[in-house]
Amino acid sequence: MTILGEQIIGHAVRKGTNGEIFGLDAATGEKLQPGFGGATLDDLEAACALADKAFDTYSETSLEARAVFLETIADNILAIGDELIERCMAESGLPRGRIEGERGRTMGQLKLFAGVLRDGGFLDARIDKALPDRKPLPRVDLRLRNVPVGPVAVFGASNFPLAFSVAGGDTASALAAGCPVIVKAHSAHPGTSELVGRAVQKAVKDCGLAEGVFSLLFDSGRDVGQGLVADRRIHAVGFTGSRGGGTALMKIAASRAEPIPVYAEMSSINPVLLFPAALAARGAAIGTAFVGSLTLGAGQFCTNPGLILAVDGEGLDAFVAAASTALANAAAAVMLTPGIHKSYCEGTARLAAHKSVKTVGQGLPAETLRGQAMLFSTTAEEFLAHPELQDEVFGSSSLVVRCPDEAALRRVVEALEGQLTIALHIDAGDHAAAAKLLPLLQRKAGRLLVNGFGTGVEVAHAMVHGGPFPATSDGRSTSVGSLAIARFLRPVCYQDLPAELLPDALKDENPLGLWRRHDGKLENA
Amino acid sequence: MTILGEQIIGHAVRKGTNGEIFGLDAATGEKLQPGFGGATLDDLEAACALADKAFDTYSETSLEARAVFLETIADNILAIGDELIERCMAESGLPRGRIEGERGRTMGQLKLFAGVLRDGGFLDARIDKALPDRKPLPRVDLRLRNVPVGPVAVFGASNFPLAFSVAGGDTASALAAGCPVIVKAHSAHPGTSELVGRAVQKAVKDCGLAEGVFSLLFDSGRDVGQGLVADRRIHAVGFTGSRGGGTALMKIAASRAEPIPVYAEMSSINPVLLFPAALAARGAAIGTAFVGSLTLGAGQFCTNPGLILAVDGEGLDAFVAAASTALANAAAAVMLTPGIHKSYCEGTARLAAHKSVKTVGQGLPAETLRGQAMLFSTTAEEFLAHPELQDEVFGSSSLVVRCPDEAALRRVVEALEGQLTIALHIDAGDHAAAAKLLPLLQRKAGRLLVNGFGTGVEVAHAMVHGGPFPATSDGRSTSVGSLAIARFLRPVCYQDLPAELLPDALKDENPLGLWRRHDGKLENA
């Protein structure tokens, strides 16, 4: 394949004429060729019209046909070969191992949803058969299944150019649900986006699906992305990015004539709670492990551990000392974009200069466009007095909050905003204290984890990558794992439909072999 | 019990001091004693503080304890006896049979959710066990369950003083989910609300639950209701009422520091599509049955058939003729409130005077505070040219849209806003045409039904009482039936938790005997 700077509108490719975007070599900031034409509002209109037209047929494709489609996308991505890996490395500054791993993860996500489709449980099929003899009134025949919500807009993320972008989790779950997808490519990796977009486009053709099932647009400003969210034919939005960007899309979606759901993953500092027994037994070891998580991928994970909470004492001293030592040898890593690098430098400078904050550790000095890892410290009292210390600094920066006692630690947790993850480091002697805190922690985060760090988000059935605002715009869902399909579904009830008009999922003879609820009770076949 | 005009704040009762509200005799408009004190902002604060405090313990009560609590509420409502029925009849103008039936429905809903709790499927328990030997990286242990979102605000509805009010569907599903509830009583039936509120309060005491699990406030204006939605301790809202009221609450919820979901059921005209073969075979019979649905409960149902669509011809003439004849004998019925009566009269007068609309049938003339049933007619062309003809007229008013052909009928359907229900009247000869239209209809409504009318909403597992905006604010859910519990849940993932810290739903030994997904596959015990 060759990168041509073209967007994808159904079966067609078309160079946008609304400005030009260039991918940048993350390590040098130099422009990568070719330029990518930004979409015009006509391009947006064409993509939305095609998606709307494709919906009625695509939403009723068989589960098996959709599963094969997702598997075909995965195969087509692999078939791009090393060109994808190299372009993605250049655009992101991430190393080969990470990008190859991310490609595997992206393919794994697509295949996971193929399995979800073949299982069919997401349809939540329910049958309450008619009771014509019921007194005082007969009961009608009621059957329920989930159907896709409609065409979905997906915004590519800067920090996962494959797994959270063109054919990433949002696209995979929306396509699995039966929703056509229009992707707004992230400007940080347009070449990667085009390559993956062509792989998806080819899969649409390979599988003989309606062309509007997938389009990919580049946006030289904000009009196309905002126009996408405002378009009446779009019925849900998937976004991963900044709090400012996410809340802007939420506002647009809420002010439409027909408001639609926005699933925006935004801002999380992923508190790590260190309990006394664990600190006493292995404070230093936890400190060293923490630095591994903090500096992974230049700290550019939504689940990066940006906040450490513990009761003051020798254990915490040991933790901080070990973390500082480990940090002192941490090389500064290339960041994703010059913009992200700039924000990181500003954020860490702000903390370094904050009157309530001490710098307690730092990584090796940074050359151009690289981020120096940083560790700061403050007290519970100061943290509570300065809400801005909760602001996410995207990158390998973290803040230790020293608490005088357990009660102060609890007050700090109570003051926290919503989070993707909260980690607890505990030994057996801490279980009672942890149990007391769990109900509160559960209010605050989508994932609670023990003796680890939130980085490393397994794509699985029991994963939740979500959480209360501002971690996400909608804490009732996840963007990673098989449950993500629920975001793009709505239930429909069919009352007294003749057998021949019923969808397969709800026919008496259960041709799909689904688990279904009969009068509320799960039954198979 | 005696009605004292008091609100309920946890275990306490307290007469509000912010203005006074009176129930009105619906048939005469006369004040019913006693007066009810409106809540102050202090009352609101007290109720929210108690609900917040109750959340951590109530959310972790056992499924069985919560089931018994719901059953106790049902028993306590029945124990109020005839005082409840009589007060409710006076405040609503609805006949005894309807109110007794609604009490049964309300108790049935509570018991349905007791069953949902004992089944436990709503927890969506998932377990992906650790794979320590997986290459290249081991897998952590991941377990997922749904947890309640937090305290919920419920707004009582005017048209179902029992089933959609203090202990109605929203309250039952929120309490089942594990959420404390604060009800804002509807001003149309304060006496009914107090009686039912005391029954719930007694159940909280009977079951030894935290007092903040339930409170009931009266609002002499809008400050308390709006303040409830704005309060940071409230995490979701259930509302049934007007489009104006619902969208106002949506705006408040979206502009909070932490936006929350609003489940508002608002406005639906419930189109009824009459197909040619059915019309030819039994146009007149459908017309007569239609009037039965139209005039039920003075037409004051969210699912009232407000729009009839059909291709012009003899069958449709027969339908209209039979409907007009049946209507001519329909007695005018007392409406719920003077305000609703006034709106109904204005709405029907507007239609009667509309230049594109003809009056084709009317019920018996109306005395004071009663609504005269009305049937209007227009053409597809005029309907498409006048979007205001889609506006809901709450009461027994309906509009027939005569379409020149199938294509015009489709264009009318395409122009429709979201609906709670769409009904199709079809014979075997219409199946092909109906099948062609189903994907479009499915985009527009939460329930599709054949050869019936949407009035009569069965409380069941496969029911969907919901639909795209403006039928509801959130088409991903239902307010009737067991699936309603999903509105008040969010998933949480537990990673590598020691066995003793895991909730029962996720322990290896499955003490609750739940169906759970292991690596995505449903298994029992």
Using CA of residue B217, residue B223, residue B227, residue B228, what is the dihedral sign?
A: positive
Q: Which CATH architecture has domain B8-18+32-266+476-487?
A: 3-Layer(aba) Sandwich (3.40)
Distance of alpha carbon B54 from alpha carbon B68, whole angstroms:
18
Tens place of pLDDT for every residue, chain B, 525 residues? 789 999 999 999 999 999 999 999 999 999 999 999 999 999 999 999 999 999 999 999 999 999 999 999 999 999 999 999 999 999 999 999 999 999 999 999 999 999 999 999 999 999 999 999 999 899 999 999 999 999 999 999 999 999 999 999 999 999 999 999 999 999 999 999 999 999 999 999 999 999 999 999 999 999 999 999 999 999 999 999 999 999 999 999 999 999 999 999 999 999 999 999 999 999 999 999 999 999 999 999 999 999 999 999 999 999 999 999 999 999 999 999 999 999 999 999 999 999 999 999 999 999 889 999 999 999 999 999 999 999 999 999 999 999 999 999 999 999 999 999 999 999 999 999 999 999 999 999 999 999 999 999 999 999 999 999 999 999 999 999 999 999 999 999 999 999 999 999 999 999 999 999 999 999 986
Question: Within 10 A of A520 (CB to CB), how many other CB atoms are there?
Answer: 17
Best of B268, B495, B518 to disrupt the A interface (most A CBs within 10 Å) is: B495
Name the B residues in 363-402 with CB < 8 Å from any A CB: none
Distance of alpha carbon B519 from alpha carbon A211, whole angstroms:
34
Distance of alpha carbon A465 from alpha carbon A421, whole angstroms:
8
| Cβ atoms B127, B147 nearer than 8 A | no
Q: Look at residue A148 and tell me whether its pLDDT is greater than 80.
A: yes
- Check residue A244 and report its DSSP letter: H
Kindly report the length of chain B. 525
- Contact of B267 with chain A, judged by CB distance below 8 Å, is answered with no
Query: E strands within B69-156?
Result: 126-128, 142-148, 152-155
Q: Which residue is it, tokens 């001490």?
A: A358
Q: For residue B460, list chain A residues with Cβ-Cβ distance below 8 A.
A: 128, 139, 142, 519
| A3 pLDDT tier (thresholds 50, 70, 90) | very high
Answer yes or no: do B449 and A495 touch at CB < 8 A.
Answer: yes
Burial of A442 (0-12, 13-18, 19+ CB in 10 A): buried
Distance from the A165 Cα atom to the nearest Cα atom in chain B, whole angstroms: 23
pLDDT at A524: 82
- Contact of A432 with chain B, judged by CB distance below 8 Å, is answered with no
Backbone angles phi, psi at A301, to 5 degrees: -120, 145
pLDDT at B145: 98
Question: Within 10 A of B446 (CB to CB), how many other CB atoms are there?
Answer: 31
Answer yes or no: do A149 and B476 touch at CB < 8 A.
Answer: yes
A302 included as an active-site residue: yes
Task: Considering the candidates A88, A179, A302, A403, report the single residue annotated as catalytic.
Answer: A302
Answer yes or no: do A463 and B496 touch at CB < 8 A.
Answer: no
- Contact of A458 with chain B, judged by CB distance below 8 Å, is answered with yes
Task: Report which of B419, B393, B394 is spatially closest to residue B472, judged by C-alpha positions.
Answer: B419
- Check residue A501 and report its DSSP letter: G
At the top level of CATH, which class does the domain A12-17+37-266+476-487 belong to?
alpha beta
Q: Computed over its alpha carbons, how large is the radius of gyration of chain B?
A: 25
- Contact of B261 with chain A, judged by CB distance below 8 Å, is answered with yes
| Cβ atoms A15, A39 nearer than 8 A | no
Higher pLDDT, A456 or B483: B483
Tokens of A139: 């009961």
Residue B432: closest C-alpha in chain A? A501
- Contact of A522 with chain B, judged by CB distance below 8 Å, is answered with yes
Secondary structure string (H, E, C) spanning A25-90: CCCCCCEEEEEEECCCHHHHHHHHHHHHHHHHHHCCCCHHHHHHHHHHHHHHHHHHCHHHHHHHHH
A265 included as an active-site residue: yes
Question: What fold does the segment set A271-450 form as a domain?
Answer: Aldehyde Dehydrogenase; Chain A, domain 2 (3.40.309)
| A2 pLDDT tier (thresholds 50, 70, 90) | confident
Using CA of residue B416, residue B421, residue B427, residue B431, what is the dihedral sign?
A: positive
Digit-coded pLDDT (tens) for A305-343 = 999 999 999 999 999 999 999 999 999 999 999 999 999
Answer yes or no: do A520 and B443 touch at CB < 8 A.
Answer: no
**Domain ranges for chain A:** 12-17+37-266+476-487, 271-450
- Contact of A158 with chain B, judged by CB distance below 8 Å, is answered with no
Distance of alpha carbon A288 from alpha carbon B156, whole angstroms:
56
| Cβ atoms B179, B152 nearer than 8 A | yes
Residues 6+ apart with CB under 8 A from A95: A89
Task: Report which of A227, A219, A270, A217 is spatially closest to residue A248, judged by C-alpha positions.
Answer: A227
Q: Look at residue A494 and tell me whether its pLDDT is greater than 70.
A: yes
Distance of alpha carbon A469 from alpha carbon A418, whole angstroms:
5
| Cβ atoms A249, A230 nearer than 8 A | no
Residue A234: helix, strand or coil by DSSP? coil
Distance of alpha carbon A250 from alpha carbon A244, whole angstroms:
10
Answer yes or no: do A496 and B449 touch at CB < 8 A.
Answer: yes
- Contact of B131 with chain A, judged by CB distance below 8 Å, is answered with no
With b for 16 or more beta-carbon neighbours within 10 A and e for fewer, the A258-287 pattern comes to ebbbbbbbbbbbbbbbbbbbbbbebbbebb
pLDDT at B525: 63
Distance from the A23 Cα atom to the nearest Cα atom in chain B, whole angstroms: 32
Secondary structure string (H, E, C) spanning B412-439: HHHHCCCEEEEEEECCHHHHHHHHHHHH
- Contact of B54 with chain A, judged by CB distance below 8 Å, is answered with no
Q: Look at residue A1 and tell me whether its pLDDT is greater than 80.
A: no
Digit-coded pLDDT (tens) for A362-402 = 999 998 899 999 999 999 999 999 999 999 999 999 999 99
Residue A518: closest C-alpha in chain B? B461
Residue A521: closest C-alpha in chain B? B119
| Cβ atoms A227, A44 nearer than 8 A | yes
Question: Within 10 A of B196 (CB to CB), how many other CB atoms are there?
Answer: 30
Residue A454: closest C-alpha in chain B? B495
pLDDT at A525: 64
With b for 16 or more beta-carbon neighbours within 10 A and e for fewer, the A177-216 pattern comes to bbbbbbbbbbbbbbbbbbbbbbbbbbbbeebebbbbbbbb
Kindly report the length of chain A. 525
Distance from the B116 Cα atom to the nearest Cα atom in chain A, whole angstroms: 8
Question: Within 10 A of A320 (CB to CB), how many other CB atoms are there?
Answer: 22
Q: Look at residue A433 and tell me whether its pLDDT is greater than 80.
A: yes
Q: For residue B426, list chain A residues with Cβ-Cβ distance below 8 A.
A: 498
